[in-house]
Amino acid sequence: MERLRGSPVTLVLFGINLALFITEEIFRLFFESSLFPILALSREGLMEGGWWQLLTHAFLHGNLFHLMVNMVALWFTGPILEEILGGCRYLLLYLGGAVIGGVLQTFVSSGSIDLVGASGAVCALLVGFGTLLPRLQITALIFFVIPVRMKAATLSWIVVITSFLFWLFGIEKGIGHLAHLGGGIAGFLICFTYRKLGMVRGLPELPPPIP
């Protein structure tokens, strides 16, 4: 929790994601119901006026592993970005990635599914990190096990390119690759704009390895 003491926005994002996951599990186990029909993002939901789904889908997760992967990425990138951007601009980056990623996945992919997960927002953070600190050397943990040294910009390219290729060739179709891609693109555009407008603070202390 030490990393989060100076990062109130990141702490709140953690709290919302965890609270909704627990609430969803309670609904499923005790009420045989779900938050997904109301809060998950779908074409039908938007057409019926459920505009809030553009944001709420990014705080729901399908299972514990799904939640853990996104929260680990948030843990390692969030505090650094919140420090150099400030709370408001950091939150805009997170939510912008969620919305753009959700829209791209929902309206470009074939078929209509209920989209959930913070992956679009998290990919915006990962790519934004590389956009703001491109030469920073990091240790990325591939599959959470294999340490690989690389520049932050390289991690950004990996996120964008693999998301596109996985979508293009239909690899792991149950995953929202277009949400990842849209979030990454949003992260680049938002942070590129921040940098051009001089809205980025000085580089903090060297961050820990990023998974």
Domain architecture of the chain: domains with CATH? 2-196 (1.20.1540.10)
pLDDT attached to residue 137:
84
Q: Indicate the pLDDT class of residue 144, thresholds 50, 70 and 90.
A: low
User: Given CA atoms 168, 174, 179, 184 in this order, what sign does their dihedral have?
Assistant: negative
Cβ–Cβ < 8 Å for 185, 177 = no
- The backbone torsions φ and ψ at residue 42, rounded to the nearest 5 degrees and listed phi first, read -150, 160
CA distances (Å), origin 104, targets 28, 147, 201 = 29, 32, 31
pLDDT attached to residue 201:
84
Catalytic residues: 119, 180
pLDDT attached to residue 128:
96
Whether pLDDT at 154 is above 60: yes
Ramachandran region, residue 175 (left: φ > 0; alpha: ψ -120 to 50; beta: rest): beta
The average confidence (pLDDT) of the chain is 89
What number is the average pLDDT over the span 188-198?
96
- The backbone torsions φ and ψ at residue 141, rounded to the nearest 5 degrees and listed phi first, read -95, 100
Q: Indicate the pLDDT class of residue 149, thresholds 50, 70 and 90.
A: confident
What number is the average pLDDT over the span 18-32?
94
Half-sphere exposure of 167 (CA within 13 A, CB side): 17
Q: Indicate the pLDDT class of residue 1, thresholds 50, 70 and 90.
A: low
Residue with the bigger pLDDT between 139 and 114: it is: 114
What number is the average pLDDT over the span 5-19?
93
Question: What does pTM read for this prediction?
Answer: 0.90
pLDDT cut 90: percent of the chain above it: 72
What number is the average pLDDT over the span 24-29?
94
Residue with the bigger pLDDT between 86 and 142: it is: 86
Crossing angle of the two packed helices 8-31 and 64-85, in degrees rounded to 10: 160
pLDDT digits (tens, 9 = 90+) for 36-60: 999 999 999 999 999 999 999 999 9
